[in-house]
């Protein structure tokens, strides 16, 4: 009964951690920056400015509760000093110029490296005590924590990173307008950790699996921020982001396997950290190099117009038009640009008939009655020479 009470108290402690509220503010500003960018390119926002907040808690909270079964069973012990160090590093990397490094590999990895150089002697004040605690953190616990968070990062990118990406238009080296998509997310993944302090002792002889030397502890549902940023110019956003997610999942599996010997040889954690940092950076760099090498995906075409974006709750959204599809015929007329699309649309304002080349290179027919008050150009974003390109 005592352990259940401690778990409930640990759950409530989530709201005592400053990072919970910092993550909300960062996500809010991410949404504002996205809306400003979309209005600059299209003179209209695609999604409302609080859209990113919908992804902040739900998927990460569910995943964190699932992974907490492992952290509680194994007994991942992290002192308050290390929690503070991880929080400081997270805050520093949450800025707009460092956001792409807001990953478990960077945050936990840097925390481990910094802790190796912290003084082991404590003074009389809270700050020096935290420094000592961070420097004496069980490296085996950090290895397990790193592996779980990298796995969580890979899953979140693969499963949620490609949802509602933001379109933009820029000029190519040849001066032609091309489109791209940006995925920028912040997920909060809270995990139950054991915090050494006055609390309660282990109620079972076999638990926790990691040796805690009989010390007392309490539970803390600690929030961890996982950021993701990726720009896609040469691949469909869903394909590109999911590929990155699978790569990060692979890195998570590697770190999880390496964390097993680290349970017996804590110093092995330093090697795991280097693998995680180098591996995650290689994934990011290789994605950018590959994206720069391949031809642009969202470009103007001679036959048809590629869909760069679809406004939510618009006629196009109701018709099932997807990003990356090509509209080749409108009301029986071939089109080769937004102007052709608009002119063909005027032929029948009561009923719109489209022939669409989908992502499987198959043509499908869609039609829908149009009503007064609906977007007069269906709510489709095209790649065009002028700033306003809503069709």
pLDDT computed for residue 84 by the predictor: 96
Are the CB atoms for 169 and 105 separated by under 8 Å? no
- The DSSP bridge pattern shows strands 351-357 and 363-369 to be antiparallel
Q: Token pair 């071939």 is at which residue?
A: 334
- CATH class of the domain comprising 300-381: mainly beta
pLDDT computed for residue 373 by the predictor: 64
Crossing angle between the packed helical segments 126-135 and 80-93, to the nearest 10 degrees: 90
The C-alpha atoms of residue 317 and residue 230 are separated, in whole angstroms, by: 24
Are the CB atoms for 330 and 297 separated by under 8 Å? no
Coil, strand or helix at 232:
strand
pLDDT computed for residue 28 by the predictor: 96
The C-alpha atoms of residue 94 and residue 167 are separated, in whole angstroms, by: 23
pLDDT computed for residue 208 by the predictor: 53
The C-alpha atoms of residue 242 and residue 154 are separated, in whole angstroms, by: 9
Are the CB atoms for 139 and 111 separated by under 8 Å? no
The average confidence (pLDDT) of the chain is 90
pLDDT computed for residue 206 by the predictor: 44
Kindly report whether the peptide bond that precedes residue 208 is cis, defined as omega within 30 degrees of 0: yes
pLDDT computed for residue 388 by the predictor: 45
Listed by start position, the domains of the chain span 2-293, 300-381
The C-alpha atoms of residue 27 and residue 21 are separated, in whole angstroms, by: 10
Residues of the chain with pLDDT under 70: 1-3, 122-123, 198-215, 373-377, 385-391
Question: How many CB atoms are located within 10 Å of the residue 212 CB?
Answer: 18
Phi, psi of 146 (to 5 degrees): -60, -45
Which residues are CB-neighbours of 221 under 8 A, at least 6 positions away?
10, 11, 12, 13, 14, 64, 68, 190, 191, 192
């Amino acid at each position: 009964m005592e352990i259940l009470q401690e778990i409930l108290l640990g759950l409530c402690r989530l709201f005592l951690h400053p990072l919970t509220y910092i993550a909300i503010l960062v996500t809010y500003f991410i949404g504002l920056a996205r809306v400003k960018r979309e209005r600059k390119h299209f003179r209209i926002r695609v999604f409302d400015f609080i859209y990113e907040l919908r992804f902040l808690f739900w998927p990460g909270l569910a995943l964190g509760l699932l992974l907490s079964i492992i952290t509680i069973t194994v007994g991942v012990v992290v002192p308050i000093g290390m929690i503070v160090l991880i929080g400081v590093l997270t805050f520093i990397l949450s800025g707009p110029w460092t956001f792409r490094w807001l990953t478990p590999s960077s945050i936990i990895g840097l925390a481990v490296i910094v802790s190796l150089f912290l003084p082991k002697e404590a003074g009389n004040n809270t700050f020096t005590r935290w420094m000592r605690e961070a420097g004496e953190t069980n490296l085996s616990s950090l290895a397990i924590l790193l592996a779980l968070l990298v796995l969580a990062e890979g899953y979140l990118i693969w499963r949620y990173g490609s949802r509602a990406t933001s379109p933009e238009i820029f000029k190519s080296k040849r001066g032609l307008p091309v489109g791209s998509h940006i995925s920028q997310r912040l997920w909060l993944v809270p995990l139950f950790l054991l915090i050494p302090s006055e609390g309660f002792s282990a109620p079972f002889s076999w638990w926790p699996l990691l040796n805690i030397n009989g010390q007392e502890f309490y539970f803390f549902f600690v929030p961890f921020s996982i950021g993701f940023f990726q720009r896609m110019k040469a691949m469909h956003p869903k394909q590109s982001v999911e590929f990155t997610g699978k790569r990060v999942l692979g890195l998570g599996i590697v770190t999880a396997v390496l964390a097993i010997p680290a349970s017996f040889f804590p110093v092995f954690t330093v090697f795991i950290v280097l693998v995680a940092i180098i591996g995650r950076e290689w994934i990011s760099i290789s994605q950018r190099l590959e994206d720069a090498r391949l031809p642009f995906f969202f470009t103007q075409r001679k036959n048809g117009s590629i869909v760069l974006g679809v406004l939510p709750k618009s006629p196009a959204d109701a018709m099932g038009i997807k990003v990356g599809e090509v509209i080749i015929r409108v009301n029986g007329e071939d089109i080769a640009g937004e102007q052709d699309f608009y002119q063909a649309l005027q032929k029948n304002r009561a009923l719109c008939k489209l022939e669409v080349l989908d992502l499987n290179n198959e043509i499908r027919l869609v039609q829908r009655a149009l009503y007064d008050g609906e977007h007069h150009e269906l709510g489709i974003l095209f790649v065009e020479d002028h700033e306003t390109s809503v069709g």
